[in-house]
Amino acid sequence: MKNLKQILTVCITLIMFSCNAQNNENESINNVLIEFSKSSDQNNVKKLENYLDENYRIILNRAFGSEMVSIVSKESYLEKIESKEWGGDKREVKIENLQINGTTANAKVTFTGKKSTIISFITLVKNKDNEWKIVSDVPTIK
């Protein structure tokens, strides 16, 4: 009976540790997504770069009346933010369906502003410094 109590205590401790680690990851990812939105809204390219992986891409499927898939590179995206062609809105961020799989995460995020509502599927990767970075954004613009 004493061994069973010890085993249960160890199991409960491990479960609590695992849940706490998951909560910390969720919080880190949520922070990246919120700060990504704020930086874009403020057209702050220097701050925005902190949240984007080197391989960041936007994948636009039939956006703006097109019938094709377009890829926007990180460099093009930052140029559009800096020139204020994109960004410059104050958006509410709603993070849904966050799923973490090791060093990769996916989230459905709704950005609601005065200019538009954007529903995005965003993929993040955890780099060697244990920082979450956005690697791809697949938005639908309403």
- Domain of residue 106 covers 2-141
Using pLDDT thresholds of 50, 70 and 90, give the confidence band for residue 9: low
pLDDT value of position 4: 59
Model pLDDT, residue 13: 46
Q: Is the pLDDT score of 19 beyond 60?
A: no
The pTM of this model reads: 0.82
Residue 55 above 70 pLDDT? yes
- Angstrom CA distances, 92 to 18, 48, 129, stand at 30, 17, 29
Give the SS3 label for residue 127.
Answer: coil
The token pair that represents 104 in the structure block: 């990769």
For residues 8-13, give the mean pLDDT: 48
Rounded to 5 degrees, φ, ψ at 96 are -125, 160
Residue from 130, 111, 127 nearest 119 by CA: 111
Q: How many domains does the chain have?
A: 1
Q: Residue 58: give its domain's CATH number.
A: 3.10.450.50
Phi, psi of 98 (to 5 degrees): -75, 125
